[in-house]
A and B are shown apart, each in its own frame.
Chain A
Amino acid sequence: MAARVKVGGWLQGKTVRKGGPASTTTTRSSTPQLQSTSSTVFGGGVKDASGRTSEYFSMDDQCPVCKSDRYLNPKLRLLVSACYHKMCESCIDRLFTLGPAPCPICNKVLRKLAFTPQTFEDLGVEKEVAVRRRIAKEFNKRREDFHDLRSYNDYLEEVEDITFNLIHDIDVAQTEARIKAYRAENAALIELNIQREEAYAQALKEQEGAERRERELRAMELRREEEEEREEREKGKREIIDKLETSDANAAKVIAKSRANALKRSSARAASTTVSHSNLLKSRAAQSTAIPDVPHVPLQDDWYAYEDLYGLRSGGYNDFMSEAVRKDREGIMRAGGFRVEEAWERALRSAVAALDLLPLSGANPNAAPTFKLDAGGDVVMASANG
C-alpha cells in the first residue's frame, strides 16, 4: 500500500492544464467535457484520427460507488480515477468538490481534476497505455545511440522491465528510483531525442501541407481553365453574331471561319496547359525519392531454341518411324495428349541443335576462351564454360 501512495506522485496528474470553460462545466453531467480531461497525463486517452478521444460506453455500465446504472440514468458517465477505479460523475461531484478526498474503493487520496474518460473496456489496458506513454517520453534512445546491438537490446529489456514493474506495482519505489537515475544520467540525450522527434513530426507536417497546397493549386487551375474555355465559347458565339450582323459575306463562310479560329485558340491553350501539367508531374516525381521500378518478369526465358533453323512442314512428312502411331486411330499406342507433330518438332530441333558448336581441343581448353588459328588455318575454339 505504501508503494501505491508513492506511485500517486506521478499518477495524480499534476501537470493537468485545464481549459477555461471546462472548470465550470465539469460538474454538470449534461455538458460535454472531453476537452479538459483528454489532456491529462495518466489516462489511456487514445486519440482517433480526428484528434479526439473516443470514450468507452456500454449498456451495462454501473457506478460501483452509488450503484446507479444506465437503465436508471441514461446520461450516466463513468470516469476513471488516478488509481484506476470507475465512478460516475455525480459521485465525483459529491465526494471531491470540497477538495482532495480518499477514494471510496482503495482509500487513495484523489483530486477532482485527475479523473479521465475511459477509452478501453479493460482498465488494465488503460493503465498500461498510460504507463507506456509516460515511459516512452523519457526512454527515447534509439539504435544509433548505441555502439552495438547487444547493448541496445539490453537497454530495451531494461525499459520493458521498468514498464512491467510500474504496470504491475512491483517494487514501485525502487523502479521510480531507477527512472530518476536514468533521467539524471541521460538528460541531454533525452532532450536531444525529443527535439529530433519533434523535428521529424514537423517535417512530416510540412510535407503534408505542401502536398495539400499542391492539390489545391491544381484544382484551382482546373477551375480557371474551365472558366476560360466557357468564356472563349461565349466570345466566339458573340463574334459570329456580330459578324453576321455587320458584314454582308456568305453566312456559312463566316461561321466556318470563326469556328476555325476558335479551334486554333483552344488547341493552343490545351498545349500550354498540358505543358504546365507535365511540369507539375515532373516536380512531384522529383520530390518523391527515386525508387527504380523494375518490371516483374515471371519467366526468365533467355534460351535460344533454334527456332529459325527449322520449320515444321505443313503437309506432314513421309515418316516410316511414326507410321504405326499415326495409323492407330483409336490411340491405343498413344499416351494422352500425344501429337506426332510435337515428336517431329523435337526431332527437328535436336537435328539442328548446336550443329555449329565446335569441339573442344587441347589438353586444357577451358583456360583460354579465345580464338586461335592452328597450322591448318582452322579456327580452334575454346570455351569459358565448357
Chain B
Amino acid sequence: MSSSTIEAAPSASPIPKRPLYESSTQFRNWRFSPEQLSELRSSLNAAAVAVIRNTLENEKPGSSSVVSFLNAEEEYLLVKLYITKITQLCGLFRFPEDVEATAVSYLKRFYLKNTVMDWHPKNVMLTALFLATKTTNNVISLETYTAHIPNTAPSDVLDLEFLVAQSLGFEFAVWHSHRALWGIILDMQNLPDCPPDIRPIYESALTHLRASRLTDAELIYTPSQIALAAVSLAAPELASQWSMSKFRSDAVESAEQLPGVIESIKALITSAGHPPDIEAVREVDRRLKLCKNPEKIVGSHAYLMKKEQEEKKALAKRSKKADETKQAIKNGDPFGNVLEHESRGLVDYDDDDDEED
C-alpha cells in the first residue's frame, strides 16, 4: 500500500515515510487476498495433477484413469493436520512460541509453492520445524531432534531443507501475531478500564490466536490485526477501546474500517480455527498414497527413470564443455581469440618487431 493513501506517514514530515511493516518480505511477498489464495492453490493442484497423470501414462498407459487425485481443499486439509502436529512437537520439545509460529508460517508458505502430491507434509513439517528452530535462534542438534521423533532419520530432515528454504525464497523473518498480542496486553494497561489482573484475558486471547494459526489469517491480515481480533474474542469491550485509542486524528477512514476487518478475522477464527476431522484426513492420506508423484518416490520405477534422464543430461553437458575446451586449446588460446576476428583499425602500419619472427 503506497504511503500516499490513508496510511500516510505523519503529515509534519516533508518526505512521506513508508511504514516499517511494508519493508518486510511478509508484506511484499506473502500477503494475499482470499480469492488469490484459492486461485493459487487450485492452479497449483491442476498443474501437479497434469504432470502426475502424464508420468503415470508414460509408465503404464491407461493407469491414470483409475486414480482419483486430490483437489485443492483436500490438500489443504492435510496441511492443516500437520500444522496441529507442529504444535504437538513444540509441546514435546518445549520450544517457545516463536518456533511454533515460525514453523507454521513456513509450512503454509511452502504449500503455496508446492503441492502435497509432490512432497508429503510429514517430512516437510519436520524440516520446517527444524529450520524454524535455527532461524529463531533456538538451536537444537539434529540428533536430539530426530531421536525424539519416532521413525525419523536425520536424512529425512536434511534432504528437504534446501528445497524448503528455496520455496520460502530464503525469506525466514516472520512478523508474528503473538508478539503483537503481548504488546497489546502491555499497552492496554494504560486504559482506565483495564482490570488489575489482565492475565486471564491474555490466556484466552492466546488460545484464539493459536486457533488462528490453523487458518489463512496470517496470509491475508497483518499480525497486529490478528492479535487484536484474538483479544476482541476474549474481551470485546476492552479491545475496541484500545483500538479507538490507537488512531491518529487524520486517519478517520481506516478507523472506521478496522472493526469490519477485525470482525472478519473473528469469523475466520471461529469458523476455520479448529483441527480437521481425523477420519476425513485419514481418507485423504490413503488416497494420496495412490496419487503421489511417482518421480518423487525414492526407489520407484519413475524415480529411477528420472534420475537416469538427469544423469544423461548432466553427462551431455559435461562432454560438451570438455569438447569446447579441447577445441579452444587446439586453436592455441584456451581463452578463445575474439579480437582476431575483428577488423583492424583505419591506421595500419607494419610492426617492425613482427617481421623477424
Contact = CB atoms under 8 A, between A and B. Distances in A.
Interface of A: 150-151, 153-155, 158, 161, 165, 170-171, 178, 302-306, 308-310, 313, 317-321, 344, 346-365, 369, 371, 378-379, 381, 383-386
B186 A344 contact: yes
Given A153-B345, A158-B349, A357 B222 contact: yes
Given A158-B347, A353-B21, A378-B257, A369 B186 contact: no
B31 interface: yes
B286 interface: no
A246 to B, nearest CB: 64
Interface stretch (B11-19, B67-75, B148-156): B11-19
A303 B36 contact: no
Contacts of A302: 15, 17-18
A153 B347 CA distance: 9
B23 A303 contact: yes
Contacts of B352: 165, 170-171
Nearest to A315: B189
A15 B339 CA distance: 45
B198 interface: yes
A353 B175 contact: yes
B2 A360 contact: no
Contacts of A357: 1, 7, 19, 21, 27, 222, 225
Given A302-B18, A344-B186, A363 B180 contact: no
A153 B176 CA distance: 62
A304 B19 contact: yes
B310 interface: no
Interface of B: 1-3, 5-7, 9-10, 15, 17-23, 27-28, 31-36, 39, 175-176, 179-184, 186-187, 189-190, 196, 198-199, 202, 220-225, 227-228, 243, 246-248, 251, 253-255, 257-258, 260-261, 264, 344-349, 351-352
Contact of A305 (B20, B27, B34, B183): B20
Nearest to A171: B352
A360 B224 contact: no
Given A153-B345, A357-B1, A358-B257, 6 more contacts: A304-B10, A347-B182, A348-B187, A351-B186, A379-B257, A381-B1
A303 B20 contact: yes
Contacts of A310: 183, 187
A384 to B, nearest CB: 5
B94 to A, nearest CB: 15
Contact of A154 (B1, B181, B225, B345): B345
Given A151-B346, A356-B258, A351 B253 contact: no
Contact of B36 (A161, A317, A360): A360
A306 B31 CA distance: 20
A303 B17 contact: yes
B189 A360 contact: no
Nearest to B181: A351
Contacts of A170: 352
B95 to A, nearest CB: 16
16 contacts: A302-B15, A302-B17, A313-B189, A313-B190, A318-B189, A321-B182, A346-B179, A347-B183, A351-B180, A351-B227, A355-B243, A357-B1, A357-B27, A369-B2, A385-B28, A386-B28
Nearest first, the 6 A-B pairs at minimum CB distance are A351-B183, A154-B345, A347-B183, A356-B254, A304-B17, A354-B21
Given A344-B186, A385-B28, A355 B9 contact: no
B100 to A, nearest CB: 16
A386 B27 contact: yes
Nearest to A347: B183
A317 B20 CA distance: 25
A319 B184 CA distance: 12
Contacts of A379: 253, 257
Q: Which of A153, A165, A357, A360 has the most CB of B within 10 A?
A: A357
Contact of A351 (B32, B224, B255): B224
Contacts of A385: 1-2, 22, 28
A351 B39 contact: no
Contacts of B349: 158, 161, 178
Contact of B261 (A150, A318, A359): A359
Given A347-B180, A385-B2, A361 B34 contact: yes
A363 B1 contact: no
A226 to B, nearest CB: 45
Contacts of B258: 355-356
- Among B190, B220, B247, B352, chain A packs the most CB atoms within 10 A around the CB of B352
A384 B258 CA distance: 21
A244 B18 CA distance: 74
Nearest to B3: A304
B238 to A, nearest CB: 14
A353 B180 contact: yes
Nearest to B194: A318
B31 A386 contact: yes
A381 B31 CA distance: 13
Given A171-B352, A308-B248, A317-B186, A352 B31 contact: no
Nearest to A345: B183
A94 B18 CA distance: 89
A192 B246 CA distance: 76
B313 to A, nearest CB: 36
A365 B36 CA distance: 8
Contact of B255 (A154, A356, A384): A356
Contacts of A364: 36
Contacts of A365: 33, 36
Contacts of A354: 7, 19, 21-22, 27, 222-225
Contacts of A384: 1-2
Nearest to A356: B254
Contact of A304 (B20, B36, B186, B346): B20
A132 to B, nearest CB: 19
Nearest to A313: B190
B2 A356 contact: no
B198 A318 contact: yes
A340 B348 CA distance: 78
A304 B21 CA distance: 9
B10 A308 contact: yes
Of the candidates A317, A349, A356, A362, the one having the most CB atoms from chain B within 10 angstroms of its own CB is A356
Contact of B186 (A158, A305, A309, A319): A319
